Amino acid sequence: MAIDIGSLMERSTAMLSSDHKSVVSMNIFVALLCACIVIGHLLEENRWMNESITALGLCTGVVILRASKGKSSHLMVFSEDLFFIYLLPPIIFNAGFQVKKKQFFRNFMTIMLFGAIGTLISFVIISLGAMHFFKRMNIDSLKIGDYLAIGAIFAATDSVCTLQVLNQDETPLLYSLVFGEGVVNDATSVVLFNAIHSFDLYHINTNTALQLLGNFLYLFISSTLLGVLAGLLSAFIIKKLYMGRHSTDREVALMILMAYLSYMAAELFYLSGILTVFFCGIVMSHYTWHNVTESSRVTTKHAFATLSFVAEIFIFLYVGMDALDIEKWKVVSDSPGKSIGVSAILLGLVLVGRAAFVFPLSFISNLTKKSPSEKIDFKQQVTIWWAGLMRGAVSMALAYNQFTTSGYTKVHGNALMITSTITVVLFSTVVFGLMTKPLVRILLPSPKNLSRMLSSEPCTPKSFTVPLLGNGHDSEANQKSQYVPPRPTSLRMLLSTPSHTVHHYWRRFDNAFMRPVFGGRGFVPVVPGSPIEQSVPVVQQWQ
């Protein structure tokens, strides 16, 4: 059998050339990430980091487009698998790991109202609105499944950009509501998007709607339980094996891998990886983090925050670069007016869809609150409405999944939806993002003493100085030492102060059953000869 030496040489040369291009692309992209970190540091006082990264991505796309003579603006091809498997997990996990648990669970019902019911309302309004207006614009290539997918795509908020502006020390109620809603919203949007592909949309009836509701409840409960179990398993293993006496590297590695395993296990069983890894982060911060050595605590805290920070930079940089993908714009270049009209309609539907649930659901939530400080006033409602208008990488990933094949499309209707999604994401991130901070300052001016205190502290990308992670003394412990909630003596008292009583009984259950088994603050394993051994009372040394 003859061997074509020339053909082999040509293939080898092509492979080497392709590998060299990949290396060049990665070098440029990593250099851009470094530049983003420097720019973000310089603009940290103004908290415009995400907008500056997106703008840098646009500028880079222009340069690459000119260098390639109009052929491409890409260093890397966008992939929803890259986003959902590698970039999203560290962001969501770190959010759960650093959240103030007491504030989050105190507002849990309101968060679920906004994140689940609110997302469904927004989904319905955007889907019906798109169907009504797009048919009038003679966009005939879209089917019923595409309109429902549009509703799920643009119902997904971008909490990452918003949380760069809000501060959980200045506005704890708003932060917990917007943050919690963002996580539940992303999970709900993805569940809706997947349900659209799994149900017969041409025979929608009451039974189908009930199946969809049951599927959502199953996914939410199962995903949450899986995350809790993964967090408890990591806490139990680290507590029993005392890895820190030999190597802190093993503790850190196990925490990182268990967190990622929880996300991938959820995806394996077709659950919501977002919810799973979020609740895994909450459980790990409550139990596992207190079971490791002091050096491992510092390492894991900064490792999780750093991974999340880099993933966020990667996403915003790529969103900016992807906006100049010339192939998609060529397909819709013959109808620029229609493209602008579709983008404007989608932005209007996003505004209306969010207003349709924020204000009514806030009114319902206020009916269940007894304390005026826990109620959401009108200015806070406006801030919550505005803070959730930004659309980001989740919308981009879902749009690519629905309207492209391997990141590319030649169908006019699909290209129109991709370019319109990019336009909405860019406009909402840059314009709405830049206007969020001034709006918060006008509507919710912070106390002078608090702002002075915050300005005197060093700022970090994801607020490393969160009381939850502060040397084993979190804000919950300080609040508990200052104020002990009264035990209910009647049903009326139980209904009037539900958050205090639930927290009180959870603390009793946690101290009596959970912490002795899974560890946690006050129940950490003591490594012989370590400094912790001398500082922990004998009654707290559970082994």
DSSP track, 148-179: HHHHHHHH---HHHHHTTS-TTTSHHHHHHHH
Residue 49: pLDDT over 60: no
415, with CB counted inside 10 A (0-12, 13-18, 19+), is buried
Q: Is residue 542 part of a domain?
A: no
Q: Is residue 195 part of a domain?
A: yes
Q: What is the pTM of this model?
A: 0.77
Mean predicted confidence (pLDDT) in 255-276: 92
Q: How many domains does the chain have?
A: 1
Q: Which residue has the higher pLDDT, 543 or 394?
A: 394
Mean predicted confidence (pLDDT) in 517-538: 56
Q: Is residue 470 part of a domain?
A: no
- Closest to 460 measured CA to CA, from 301, 353, 294: 301
Task: Report how far residue 476's alpha carbon sits from residue 316's, in angstroms, rounded to the nearest whole number.
Answer: 34
> Quick one: DSSP state of residue 405?
B
Q: What is the pLDDT of residue 523?
A: 63
What are the tens digits of pLDDT across the range 423-467? 898 888 888 877 877 887 888 776 543 343 333 333 444 443 333
Q: Is residue 216 part of a domain?
A: yes
Q: Is residue 505 part of a domain?
A: no
Q: Is residue 368 part of a domain?
A: yes
Q: Is residue 40 part of a domain?
A: no
Q: Any idea which of 256-260, 348-352, 491-495, 502-506 has the lowest mean pLDDT?
A: 491-495
- Average pLDDT along the chain: 76
Residue 314: its H or E element = helix 294-322
Q: Is residue 37 part of a domain?
A: no
Give the structural domain span for 240. Answer: 81-448
Contact 156, 189 (CB under 8 A): yes
Look up the CATH number of the domain holding residue 429: 1.20.1530.20
